[in-house]
Amino acid sequence: MSQATIKGLHQQLINKERSAVEITTEALERINTLEPKVKAFLSVTADYALEQAKKADSKIAAGEEIGILEGIPIGIKDNMCTQGIKTTCASQILANFVPPYESTVTQKLKDAGAVMVGKTNLDEFAMGSSTENSGFQVTANPWDLSRVPGGSSGGSAAAVAANECVVSLGSDTGGSIRQPAALCGVVGLKPTYGLVSRFGLVAYASSLDQIGPFARNVEDSAILLNAIAGHDRRDSTSLNIEIPDYTQYLQPELKKGLKVGIITETFGEGLDSIVAEKVRDAIAQLKEMGAEVKEISCPRFRYGLPVYYIIAPSEASANLARYDAVKYGVRKEADNLVEMYTTTRAAGFGTEVKRRIMLGTYALSAGYYDAYYLKAQKVRTLIKQDFEQAFEEVDVLISPTTPTTAFKAGEKTSDPLSMYLSDLMTIPVNLAGLPGMSIPCGFDEAGLPIGMQLISNVLREDILFHVAHAYEQATEWHKKQPQI
């Protein structure tokens, strides 16, 4: 599993060197061995996975052609609905919730023959940057078990970094794919808003949420995006466009005249010197490969954090109102309806979720709506305009993915603001609806991974894959493995 890629395993399957059941069994055994330390999975779906693997083997035995993802072990973030399989969002309020329907992305993967080995841990309702806000367990970073894997998709990132599955899915509202990808030393992609259906993704902030892949290399990320992207009539924000084969953009060399912009505002105060150094080294590498590099200013970039923490909690306040203990989820019995709501939500929601619900409810309340929410939406438009102007000059923008490498578990739990700053570089991308990718670009003195963020214009995932793959081919960072 440590050397496994989608294409490599696919070749082994069609050559009948290994069966899908053997590959799945190896993944499940690795999960069984490592989970007491890593705790990336909230549930392991062993029987279901082996059943899926047997289907792939039956097709091969019958001489049928198999798809690229058939028999490939994959982890799914536990905020995507899986029919008949528990979906908790890492919250006590959904501790026993079993969805009666399948999310679009998991259905697509099921149809493609991918083998879901389990549902991965996250910050409760995807609200957090460290996976410490999970209502069930704290996931460890495979590179240093005393540190966090990032969040909110920390379980998905850790599972891929620890080789418990080949690829995984996460969701990204303000950096929840890219930030843990950086801290765990893997590739993480947040696609253009609307490129991947959100049907069946349990909502946090509906105008920001987007599902995307985690992988150990850029090619696997492109293959997984091929499988999940596309229009879905059940998602009103889904883009009705033709989806290209993203693997066609994976060329070993940069195309001539590619223009790269360094976002100057991301190399200021609060950035660790080693992170700045390694990202600058990566930029120098791209320059050596033929890229034209220039400094680009996005002056409203710094307003991303305060804007996000008005808009996202406001949408969360509306979305989480549905947890009323009536139709589904945990119910605390009470003498009347209001008391039932109150006691259920008090017991079911964690501290961070309650904090964000209160922030959002306050921002939307009478007398404050114009001062906070409306103003935040206006500044969001200005941030988007900064990006639009930048892309008139360059093809791709670059910044560090995170200001620091992985921090110790418990280090920031008593300081929410310090925790929020972990998403400083990633949030503006969500506000503008753009695609962004984090790729490994080095390590600090403690051997912890560092990520570089690539940002392209709307629906220009092709550029991200092109630049990321070319850089990956010229470096060795993606080949390094944590020793657990």
Mean pLDDT of 360-389: 95
User: Distance between CA atoms of 37 and 39, rounded to whole angstroms?
Assistant: 6
The answer to whether 112 and 394 have CB atoms below 8 angstroms apart is no
pLDDT exceeds cutoff 80 at 67: yes
Domain ranges of the chain: 6-256+437-442+464-479
Tell whether the model's pLDDT for residue 1 goes beyond 80.
no
Collapsing DSSP to helix, strand or coil, 453 comes out as strand
193-218 pLDDT per residue, tens: 999 999 999 999 999 999 999 999 99
Q: d(Cα 183, Cα 458) in Å, to the nearest integer?
A: 25
CA torsion 7-12-13-15 (nearest 10°) is: 120
Instruction: Give the type of residue at 314.
Output: S
Q: Before 197, cis peptide (omega within 30)?
A: no
Percent of the chain with pLDDT over 70: 100
Lowest mean pLDDT among 129-133, 157-161, 334-338: 334-338
The confidence band for 329, taking pLDDT boundaries of 50, 70 and 90, is confident
**Which residue is associated with the tokens 């660790």?**
272
Choose the catalytic residue: 103, 176, 221, 422. 176
d(CA 65, CA 427): 42
pLDDT in tens, 376-397: 999 999 999 999 999 999 999 9
For the segment 233-242, what is each residue's pLDDT rounded down to a tens digit? 999 999 999 9
For residue 59, is pLDDT > 80? yes
DSSP 293-320: EEEE--TTGGGHHHHHHHHHHHHHHHHG
Phi/psi for 43 (5° steps) reads -145, 140
**Alpha-carbon dihedral 236, 321, 313, 239, rounded to 10 degrees:** -10
Per the residue annotation, which of 39, 59, 77, 412 is the catalytic one? 77
Mean pLDDT within 335-345: 92
What whole-number distance in Å separates Cα of residue 167 and Cα of residue 213?
7
Contact indicator for 130, 148 with CB cutoff of 8 Å:
yes
pLDDT computed for residue 325 by the predictor: 86
67 or 419, greater pLDDT: 67
When pLDDT is averaged across residues 130-143 and rounded to a whole number, the result is: 97
Q: Both tokens of residue 122?
A: 């996250």
- Exposed, middle or buried, 189 (CB in 10 Å: 0-12/13-18/19+)? buried
Give pLDDT, residue 17: 96
pLDDT tens profile 388-442: 999 999 999 999 999 999 999 999 988 888 888 889 999 999 999 999 999 999 9
Q: What is the DSSP letter of 421?
A: G
Give the pLDDT of residue 3.
80
**Catalytic (active site) residue 327:** no
Interval 252-266 mean pLDDT = 95
- Residue 46 reports pLDDT greater than 90: yes
152 tagged catalytic:
yes
In this structure, the strands spanning 210-215 and 167-172 are antiparallel
User: Does residue 134 have an active-site annotation?
Assistant: no
Class level of CATH domain 6-256+437-442+464-479: alpha beta
Catalytic residue among 103, 130, 152, 156: 152
Q: What is the pLDDT of residue 479?
A: 93
Residue located via tokens 């996460």: 170
Tell me which H or E stretch contains 272: none
Answer yes or no: is pLDDT of 66 > 90: yes
